[in-house]
Structure 1
């Protein structure tokens, strides 16, 4: 096992090295071209390695052909024009995925996973390609800005853009996930109580969970991903030991972090990490979910996305473009402030790529440290870096290390499309940097701009918005105050996609440099709305119908009190309102289904929110009702 190949670095994937590696490692029996569609789904195939080696030049240059039915490319790949080519990316690391349940000659069978492009009618139409274009556009446009407005470099100690050799875009993600034993049902009250008491947060892992976590971290090391930490998160309850001595009734939330990389590699790394986590935990009989909100009423899974920008100088030194020359007198450089303002001003067109599913919106609710407000935190004071967990974007700083300065975007979840999230962030940052450079404002003046009160004019930011808060925005402000100061956040997939259509000027920022184009954006909107509609009709509605049916009268006449009768009547009235039609009235579920059938998405969106509120209400009432009964 020690001699297995886990990663083929980008400088080793040429024809000569590949032939040598694959002949020396016959356990690698398959190859898979991994393209990532606009829905964030990665393709997977099992192509015998002999097929690849039979005409290696052609395989590396042209890949394979498939059809658009296998990928999410709405309004791009049609039935009468469905050919999509999968073409290998030769400029990133390739990984080998091993099946430890399939042993041949005492070694697990491996599949060489090659990050790839999806090409339709000669154009790249995949998520990875959008990010690559965003990276190229950012580097080119930023160098133009630095040459045109060189004063923004002076405050970070660079006298002339001539000394810059390269611009470095770094990123890092982290994964939170729930793990449980199969068929175990969550006790929400116990989970909620444990969360409130923080009984699980950063506590010691036990049994199979501990073993699976440790093995995952060791495997990440073998893949060169440099894991930094694995620990328990806030959600979960203590597992039990069964009579056979094995851990039973597992219901825990974990987090795994690994080292940053360049933007594209960071997004690619995330895909392989998810696969490794699922495989290792499954080998110990544990189910893993990366869903943003797998359990209502307890903590969801976040995936904070860190972004940084630096330059490599011709003398070999690295300089962080977000860090001021004097870390004890300023939070950020002019470039840093411009980048942050770009994200905040344009977040309405970033948000759809961050939050594009019903599950993702279930996480973004006040009370669970989930960021829903377009607001940032710089720190209570320059000399005391802090972490405000209630804001959308936090500035991460280390006064003694200028290279550590970066932005932590807290809204993504483990199933967000990291490629499109990063691409939209870079486009927005570029817009803010250009505005800051043109303004000729100092870092102190830019700090005042981003710290302005609502109603104050700004050269770039919107007048009636507040963009900075060092307070807990959920504790310090009411919901009405938050909506007024930071803008009312979208609450459904439809509301979020509508922003991409209504914010025309902000949408243009995505189109700059042809990073996103109208075809890509419209395809993304169409696929997101189709998934939203399908999940609502065929999954969420059915689940809620089953839930309503399970809320049955369970008291008997011997133990009943007037309180039980009143509570049940209230519950039953809600049950009828939600799912029982009459000759004169249609129930909530019927009205929602008809709105979706009629493509009346505005109505469907509002009915979806009403449905969630009613389900939440009946759930709470039913728990109270059962608490007062002896026999249930």
Structure 2
């Protein structure tokens, strides 16, 4: 049997165990019918967004199933990212199965079971991490955010019944449940192993839009199609796969194979409840990576794998609906008349809350050096805290340059939602969605407690910088239907929407700089001081360690690679001048002397002394000079007939 299961064999595999099938008797029955499932893995997600994976033999799992489902397994906290929570002298962490969500079976197509002739499977069970009898993981934070939002929104609607009329309801008693929905879009780069990026070629192709939504061919097409089919098997209901803006055409070799593949792709699947949506993303990433690898292709989900061309985003969609006791569903962000109003008061309040409190949401959205490399003008990556509603209620539009966009479908009010465009595939989706709902709830509370109508809230959201507002901050504007990067200068953007953070440190200090915004996260004990502090320590450690031991070393290699190439007999005065500029930058970046330390050394010393303000400033200076060095070296080489 090949590494890919034949179409006739797919039906034999068990991909999904929904929550309705988590009774012990049914688990025993299903695993008994599928002996190819050899292992069980409890999947907890720590504060760094890492998911645990361990191989527990199915026989051991079934031996005392009731106890296993109730108490899970124990592990050493040093194996997960929970700094200052799971300490060296108090490291025990319990991994407890979550019975309320889908469980997935992860198949190893390189390990075919000799008895069944099917790939070996591992039942992956989403779980919680518990320390000192308290849940401390990313999944539990999102679970608590959902519970808190549901309780609070029902209470607010009950205490401010005027808002019910805007939804076509007469009483909160008509509501059976509140459903928080979410979805993510997964972008990634794919390439043949060991191929190096030609940035100029990629950049040219991007400007010309030669790849965007074009037809896939060869192994890329095969892997894409297989990925979509497998996602359906896992119940994700794949909606679309297509080429993104980045990439160049593959080359067909003499033996009929494709080589030099370097393309950017996107795969989308159907929305789900908030927690299930985040779980779905984990399995989707594994499916995509494994499927493309089986087709001889490398996949990266890095936010900015190639400098100078489009990065990988992961636009995150959020919405809120209510299920009525009569069985109908109603989107509480949508207005009664889609042609006259953009949103209901609850929808406007939610958007305003997200924008006002984004400074404490952003540390979860953008938490790595790689993520900040993506958020730069010129690549449709949002850096300004501003939203777009559309040019008119009866004419939906999408402004791709804002942070948060209102998504509307005039024929389908249930589609009304927000798209947060800043996340990337390495963002911790659990914490991102949890912080979004906490921020939105704060704005909803302000809107309803002030008895604001949709039209009043639209006027408030559309206020100009310097105008006072009952909730939003006076100094900033929060809505723009213009092209943010083309219609405003950088100075104008900063004045209107605030200075965007440029480093990981710039983001982390917001927790301390804006205690009133941080308190929004703490509402309902969704986040707490210990969790936020642990997240800060983990993110700070990752930032400085990567900077010290990876980025500086990579930049040293760039400096060393910029060598003098011209010969004396064919040199021009321009070549000499260009080389002198290059050499000056090389010394400034890397070469220490008795009376001056290089930029690399200054950064290392600032990290050693924990002077993070200086580290942040110097990191930006280093990146600017490295970019200048690379650009100058390209210009220098272009003018040379031949190299030494």
Instruction: Give the secondary-structure state (helix, strand or coil) at the position aligned to 2:393.
Output: coil
Provide structure 1 residue ranges, at least 5 long, that are not aligned to the other structure: none
Q: Which residue in the other structure is 1:86 paired with?
A: 95
CA shift digits 1:95-116 (9 cap, x unpaired): 0000000001311000000000
Offset of residue 631 of structure 1: 1.5
TM-score, length-scaled by structure 1: 1.00
1:17 matches 2:39: no
Provide structure 2 residue ranges, at least 5 long, that are not aligned to the other structure: 1-8
CA shift digits 1:334-371 (9 cap, x unpaired): 00000000000000000000011110010000110000
CA shift digits 1:364-391 (9 cap, x unpaired): 0011000010000000111110010000
**Among 29, 34, 55, the residue aligned to 2:64:** 55
Instruction: Give the secondary-structure state (helix, strand or coil) at the position aligned to 2:190.
Output: strand
CA shift digits 1:17-49 (9 cap, x unpaired): 000000110000000000000000000011111
RMSD: 0.6
CA shift digits 1:475-512 (9 cap, x unpaired): 11111111111010110001100001110000000000
Structure 1: how far apart are the matches of 2:152 and 2:225?
43
Offset of residue 326 of structure 1: 0.4
Offset of residue 221 of structure 1: 1.0
Structure 2: how far apart are the matches of 1:328 and 1:159?
22
Offset of residue 179 of structure 1: 0.4
1:400 matches 2:411: yes
Q: Which residue in the other structure is 1:102 paired with?
A: 111
Structure 1: how far apart are the matches of 2:616 and 2:436?
27
CA shift digits 1:556-575 (9 cap, x unpaired): 12321111111011000000
Q: Which residue in the other structure is 1:34 paired with?
A: 43
Aligned residues: 632
Structure 2: how far apart are the matches of 1:254 and 1:558?
48
Q: Which residue in the other structure is 2:519 paired with?
A: 508
1:617 matches 2:617: no
Q: Which residue in the other structure is 1:604 paired with?
A: 615
**Among 333, 343, 358, the residue aligned to 1:347:** 358
CA shift digits 1:579-617 (9 cap, x unpaired): 001111001000011000010000000000000100110
Structure 1: how far apart are the matches of 2:365 and 2:164?
31
Q: Which residue in the other structure is 2:275 paired with?
A: 264
Instruction: Give the secondary-structure state (helix, strand or coil) at the position aligned to 2:610.
Output: coil
Offset of residue 156 of structure 1: 1.5
Q: Which residue in the other structure is 1:461 paired with?
A: 472
Instruction: Give the secondary-structure state (helix, strand or coil) at the position aligned to 1:457.
Output: coil
CA shift digits 1:529-565 (9 cap, x unpaired): 0000000000000000011000101111232111111
Structure 2: how far apart are the matches of 1:90 and 1:335?
32
Structure 2: how far apart are the matches of 1:504 and 1:178?
38
Structure 2: how far apart are the matches of 1:49 and 1:372?
48
Structure 1: how far apart are the matches of 2:517 and 2:291?
43
After TM superposition, what 4+ stretches of structure 1 lie above 6 angstroms from structure 2? none
**Among 178, 201, 206, the residue aligned to 2:189:** 178
Structure 1: how far apart are the matches of 2:567 and 2:237?
60
TM-score, length-scaled by structure 2: 0.98
Instruction: Give the secondary-structure state (helix, strand or coil) at the position aligned to 2:508.
Output: helix
Q: Which residue in the other structure is 1:188 paired with?
A: 199
Structure 2: how far apart are the matches of 1:556 and 1:69?
56
Q: Which residue in the other structure is 2:457 paired with?
A: 446
Structure 2: how far apart are the matches of 1:442 and 1:515?
29
Mapping 1:493-504, distance limit 5 Å: 493-504=504-515
Structure 1: how far apart are the matches of 2:76 and 2:220?
40
Q: Which residue in the other structure is 1:8 paired with?
A: 17
Q: Which residue in the other structure is 1:204 paired with?
A: 215
**Among 483, 486, 494, the residue aligned to 2:497:** 486
CA shift digits 1:279-328 (9 cap, x unpaired): 00001111100000000000000000000101111111111101100000
1:311 matches 2:322: yes
**Among 141, 149, 169, the residue aligned to 2:180:** 169
Structure 1: how far apart are the matches of 2:542 and 2:627?
23
